[in-house]
Amino acid sequence: MKKLYGSAAEALDGVLKDGMLIAAGGFGLCGIPELLIAAIRDAGVKELTFVSNNAGVDDFGLGLLLQTRQVKKMISSYVGENAEFMRQYLSGELELEFTPQGTLAERMRAGGAGIPGFYTKTGVGTVIAEGKDHKDFDGETYILERGIVADLSIVKAWKADTTGNLIFRKTARNFNPPAAMCGRICVAEVEEIVPTGSLDPDQIHLPGIFVHRLVQGTHEKRIEQRTTRKKEAV
């Protein structure tokens, strides 16, 4: 199977369509598939549902797709850094399904592992539990959460070999592995591609069996919130 593509647009060619469910890795602006997001914007597909921890910021990450009104619904755990997200949601232009952060990660992992659903205590007694099946185990109440299987996964990794084995760097590992697992098609953008056999098998975070297409690129790595300490007087 050919996995290497020359650009993000080429890697998404023939995959995108209106109304897709797309799982996107990243946390804030850390480890987001920025090149693939820009290619989706340029492709012009619309009515998209995104599964992602958050929606980026107003002018970067998934915020770019909110600006162009290509997103119909977000399945997320945190949306506090995006004013356009807030405006669209409060005006009824954007659907939102809030999911606790750990539950969101497990829903994607479960979908990738072929598990249709699981029970969790998180959210019991809150609006999260409304309309969901409740069951008691050992005297404790749990709610049923469904696994997520996405039409497409887009993720960002640090290094890959030509078969798609991925290594994520530090906290960029965040939601990327479960997001990659749950997609029927997974496209990964990476900083470096090395020959097969170059990676230590014990260091691989995601096996290439989950990755269908690869693209190498240069990334901006924008800082979401820059915090500095005042210089102390000498």
> Does 190 fall in a domain?
yes
Tens of pLDDT, residues 67-120: 999 999 999 998 877 889 999 999 999 999 999 999 999 999 999 999 999 999
> Does 231 fall in a domain?
no
* Alpha carbon distance 63, 209 (integer Å): 30
> Does 130 fall in a domain?
no
> Does 124 fall in a domain?
no
Range of the domain at 45: 4-115+151-216
Tens of pLDDT, residues 154-211: 999 999 999 999 999 999 999 999 999 999 999 999 999 999 999 999 999 999 999 9
Sheet with 140-146: list strands edge to edge.
117-120, 140-146, 134-137
Question: What is the number of domains present in the chain?
Answer: 1
> Does 50 fall in a domain?
yes
Report the predicted TM-score, pTM, of the whole model to 2 decimal places: 0.92
> Does 229 fall in a domain?
no
User: Which residues share a beta bridge with 154?
Assistant: 24, 187
> Does 24 fall in a domain?
yes
> Does 128 fall in a domain?
no
Question: Taking every pair of C-alpha atoms in the chain, what is the biggest distance, in angstroms?
Answer: 63
Looking up residue 94, the CATH number of its domain turns out to be 3.40.1080.10
Number of Cβ atoms within 10 Å of the Cβ of 76 = 20
